[in-house]
Amino acid sequence: RPGDVIRDPAEIYRQSFAIIRREADLGRFSGPMEELAVRVVHACGMPDVAATLSFRPGAAEAGCRALAEGKPILVDAQMVAHGIIRRRLPALNPVICLLDDPRAFDLAEKCGTTRSAAAVRLWADRLDGAVVAIGNAPTALFELLAMIAEGAPPPALILGFPVGFVGAAESKDALIASGLPFVALPGRRGGSAMAAAAVNALAGEAK
Amino acid sequence: RPGDVIRDPAEIYRQSFAIIRREADLGRFSGPMEELAVRVVHACGMPDVAATLSFRPGAAEAGCRALAEGKPILVDAQMVAHGIIRRRLPALNPVICLLDDPRAFDLAEKCGTTRSAAAVRLWADRLDGAVVAIGNAPTALFELLAMIAEGAPPPALILGFPVGFVGAAESKDALIASGLPFVALPGRRGGSAMAAAAVNALAGEAK
């Protein structure tokens, strides 16, 4: 058994965050947005994502306020839901993923779309002032933007981290152009770990 | 609503995999290992990970056989468990994550280690011939290697995708040097989405 393996969880966190602060370019960030950038880098092991993170000024702060007020967290994937550390949440905020709701299956088939996008349609009465975290499906983010353009109440913050080769970059570009409060990683990279880390960062700052 | 958004799930998959096969260097791979490489790239949006994926020849095939035989899938994080597509599994294989087992909390405190590593200790009677997927904690992978070195029965395959700045690269180097059947992404990158994608790839091939 190697003697130099660091096993103490607090020490692992301390060293990880020290490396991130040394290697990642965090100069553009402050307050909860800086914490969010650090946590997203931590989730993926890539300091360079800090340089490409995009955000609307005040968006992270709005997310913190929404969490402190007990607003729900709406997520597009079970992996995002299970990456959110419940004990960090400031107000026992509900974490809602409707991907496995039977209505999502039916709606997806009827509309010829993904189940992820159909599940977003089911958020309508929960969107107002919520924190949305998209960590998987570009179609979910496109659907959300369409709903809001059609008059659905906007969330307090949209965390845009869909990943992949078809639509991911385009959906995040549309989010950035929307005028809505957002944090997003442009391009193909993203994922549920980054989306959950962004929520965890804001939850810690909202306490 | 933009008219050129692709919403059909089958078409999204088709285009995604076509882009991956065009951009990723898959020349070293064949059979289930090629499918695994494609799915790992798909999970993270980064074609270049295909060039750095490391594996022991025959390891992916051994994983397929283990899944076809109904062996359990042992994972270090709930995010990995929830990224595994159950309907793809060839034999209703149990997916086991013991991170929230009360014994893991106690053992972690007693041993001054992470809960992830403590949960691995609880795998002892399930390890033999299993498929292990580590998508989060380097300490979990170190613990697994220590258990096997101490005489625990080896799994059929170890999928090594821990992520981060402290121990992730070192734990995967130790896995590669161990002589055990493995697939791993060396370096800091990794994550639960890649680990789950690797399982999903082998499950599809095992059918």
Q: Which tens digits make up the pLDDT trace of B146-191?
A: 999 999 999 999 999 999 999 999 999 999 999 999 999 999 999 9
CA distance A87 to B201: 33
**Which pLDDT tens digit goes with each residue over B107-117?**
999 999 999 99
CA distance B168 to A119: 35
CA distance B189 to A193: 12
The beta-carbon neighbor of B20 closest among A8, A113, A165 is A165
Q: Specify the pLDDT at position B180.
A: 98
For residue B79, what is the nearest residue in chain A, using CA coordinates?
Answer: A79
Block residue for tokens 């292990």: B132
CA distance B164 to A38: 12
Is 0.90 exceeded by the ipTM?
Answer: yes
Whether B98 has a pLDDT exceeding 50, the answer reads yes
- In chain A, residues with a C-beta closer than 8 Å to the C-beta of B164 are 16, 42, 45
Taking the alpha carbons at both ends of chain A, their separation in whole angstroms is: 39
**Which pLDDT tens digit goes with each residue over A29-49?**
999 999 999 999 999 999 999
Residue A92: CB atoms within 10 A of its CB come to 8
pTM of the model: 0.97
Q: Specify the pLDDT at position B206.
A: 87
Q: Specify the pLDDT at position A206.
A: 87
Helices (H), A53-191: 59-68, 78-83, 102-111, 115-121, 138-149, 168-177
B142 to A81: CB separation less than 8 angstroms, yes or no:
no
Which structure tokens are listed for A60? 């992270």
Arithmetic mean of pLDDT, A174-202: 98
Which of A1, A4, A5, A11 should we substitute to test contact with B (largest number of B Cβ atoms within 10 Å)? A5
Helix, strand, coil percentages for chain B (3-state, nearest 5)? 55, 10, 40
User: Which residues are CB-contacts of A179 (< 8 A; sequence separation ≥ 6)?
Assistant: none
**Is residue A178 within 8 Å of A155, Cβ to Cβ?**
no
**Which pLDDT tens digit goes with each residue over B52-61?**
999 999 999 9
Backbone angles phi, psi at A57, to 5 degrees: -55, 135
- How far does CA B103 lie from the centroid of its chain? 24
B16 to A46: CB separation less than 8 angstroms, yes or no:
no
Active site annotation includes B42 = yes
B165 to A16: CB separation less than 8 angstroms, yes or no:
yes
Q: Which residue out of B42, B65, B121, B126 is catalytically annotated?
A: B42
CA distance B183 to B59: 7
Least confident among A117-131, A182-196, B1-15, B100-114: B1-15
**Is residue B183 within 8 Å of B53, Cβ to Cβ?**
yes
For residue B189, what is the nearest residue in chain A, using CA coordinates?
Answer: A45
